[in-house]
Structure 1
Amino acid sequence: MKFTLALLFVSLAYTATAVPIDEAAISRNDLEDPTRDFPEGSREDVDLDLDGEVDEELLQGIAERNLYLLFTRRNPTAAQTLIINDANSIRYSNFNPNHPTVVIAHGWLSNQNTGINSLIRDAYLGKGEANVIVLEWRRLAISNYVTAVRGVPIVGKGLGQFVRYLIGVTGARYEDIHLVGFSLGAHLVGSAGRELLGRVSRITGLDPAGPLWVLNSNRLRTSDARYVEVIHTNGAYTGLGIGSSIGHADFYPNGGSFQPGCLTYICDHNRAWELFAASVSYNHLIARKCSNSLQITLNTCRGDTFPMGNDDLNKYGLGEFRVNTNRRYPF
């Protein structure tokens, strides 16, 4: 099965190459016009070949090529690299075990310079003390889609092993760790949580990838963390995200398929991490619990209110929810 969608998964976060970008170019100003061209937007079409060949050679030792980049209020824009099995890289960094830790995993065709990383990082550090770790897994992320899908559990397991090592070196607590992943990155952090036996406090899946994942046993699931929250923004039949509920709490902004202000699937898909970043800063996206999918579609949910997103490590909820948003940041 091979098909082409305009702007399909163009990094799934505004990037199509591994070339570093001007982070200032992807900011809240860009979110005010989500249809504009981005610096990496030179590729208009990407082939999503679901029957393509898996690059088995690339998968050998792929988790060892991950980078773990730490940002704190002491180094908000200049990353410190943390290295597994190198205790000094952690001990002499700005990592503080007394602060909450959030790990961000980008999506397909992305890298450390992708907009998701800086927007969520700045939301956390603008609010309070935190250890923000950006997982750079570009070596796998820039491969063809089927190879990336096959390698996600491997890279996720490597992330879990890194978190375990980080805790061992610093004395940090599982209860203070929040894993956040977008698209393929959502299933990746699920694998990391599985490696950690579901002990981390929270996982947030931002429009988890749909193609090849609906029946995939390695997809994100509720046992991967104490609380698993999923935000669906492009779960339409032909969308890029998974449309079914897979978390403890599943949120469907504006119905979960198409987003106001967006004219492309990539914009709808990316809106998940834009909404999440805004919710960290303002905690203002209050949803209503829904009894069924028809209520979600018709916008007739009348259940209890519950906030979508935010950075609350003690958060817990169950069910399906709809929230209506505006078209511009902070929505």
Structure 2
Amino acid sequence: MTCGRRVNILGVNVDVGYDVAGVMEKVETVLLQDGSHYICTTNPEFIMSAQNDPEFKDMINSADMSLPDGAGVVMADYYLRKMSEVGKNRAVRFFAGLGAGLETASGSFSKSMKFAPKITGVRLSEEIFKFSADKGYSVFLLGGMVRDWKGKPSESKSRDIAIQTAEKIRREYPGINIVGASSAFSFREEDDERTLTYIKECMSRTGDEVLDFILVAYGHKKQEAWIRRNLGKIPCRIGIGVGGTFDYLSGVSKKPGDKITQFNLEWLFRLCTQPWRLSRIVTAFPLFPIKVFLSSLK
């Protein structure tokens, strides 16, 4: 297990340095505490969105854990640690920043350079399922959306991606207590009552008075806002926003291969397989590293 530390990237807190074992140890500690808690899987898009959205920034910074979901975040951490050793002269910082930036970028293709571990929503979810199956914790899957090749919601009503994911997880982890799953409800506040009623009906059927985990896949901002509004009303101990995780776990979308992940080229994989994500990919690269570089010169 590795030791973690909380860093600040463009005003957003991120807990870096944890490997999966360290994260799950923290998760188990949080489960034993009173009340409801939530975890953010923070990627470059989260950090960029938070620049112009104080409420969203507060959601991330108030989370019990804000995990680095993606290479861009851990590379920014590495770069900023390098820059923390540089003096305050702006000219010196400019050239030092260029050098540190090139070193950081080249690290994507070098096994010798060690960035902090990245903890993606998919990886965290898989660990939550394994952990829950082993320890007897309860899980609910909420949200997710099947999209066509243009990125628009599919007209097929028969493909509930949360249910597909739950069925696959039950096969992989026999005995896991998945209390329920549904993609039938929206993230909107006016739909909260219907959603909560359904969740509580599922809990009543399984005899669970409290949920241990709810994984919410409504996309960034929306899922965090939903969790913040509703977690205590369920009640649920830990809520986690997982973005497009159900797409990959259900098999609707292909996961990046090991080599792509090793060289931190997930952004290129998504650009090729999901071209409708172009604006989001551009936000993560190159806009995010450019903003980190410029902020480091101050």
> Which TM-score applies when normalising by structure 2?
0.30
Q: TM-score, normalised by structure 1?
A: 0.27
Which of the pair has the greater relative contact order for Cα pairs under 8 Å at 6+ separation? 2
The structure with more radius of gyration = 2
Q: Which has the higher strand share?
A: 1
